[in-house]
Amino acid sequence: AQRVTQPEKLLSVFKGAPVELKCNYSYSGSPELFWYVQYSRQRLQLLLRHISRESIKGFTADLNKGETSFHLKKPFAQEEDSAMYYCALRPLPDSWGKFQFGAGTQVVVTP
């Protein structure tokens, strides 16, 4: 069975400082990894997926198969980045029905 671990429940950073949210996974196959974000009073939304290799809102995430990690990074945190972030895994070639979320990391960016 797959598992997604986000070791930090809360991450507090100052505006302009770098931020890194850790995500480790365990899965015997080749998964697809995602980061979802939930801003205050908004619905959960997709931030990044590893196959897209994009930078969204200044965030990047690299899949490291050797370390089974998919850490989310941003060089300069902004106050609007304050939100709940979830790392998630979709096993391949399995279906969305086995999608697995991590416990989430609350990010607070202070001025």
The mark string for 13-42 relative to other proteins (x by CB under 8 A, - otherwise) is: -----------------------------x
Tally of helices (H runs) and strands (E runs) in the chain = 0, 11
Q: Closer CB to other proteins, residue 12 or residue 76?
A: 12
Q: Out of 17, 44, 92, 108, which residue is the one contacting other proteins (CB under 8 A)?
A: 44
Stretch that binds other proteins, among 19-27, 57-65, 73-81, 94-102 (CB under 8 A): 94-102
Total chain residues near other proteins (CB under 8 A): 14
If one asks whether residue 43 binds other proteins (CB under 8 A), the answer comes out as: yes
Query: How far is it, in rounded angstroms, from Cα 18 to Cα 105?
Result: 15
Q: Which two tokens stand for residue 8?
A: 């930090």
Rg (CA), the chain: 13
Ramachandran angles phi, psi of 79, nearest 5°? -60, -35
Q: Which two tokens stand for residue 42?
A: 């908004």
**Residues binding other proteins (CB under 8 A):** 42-46, 86, 95-97, 99, 101-104
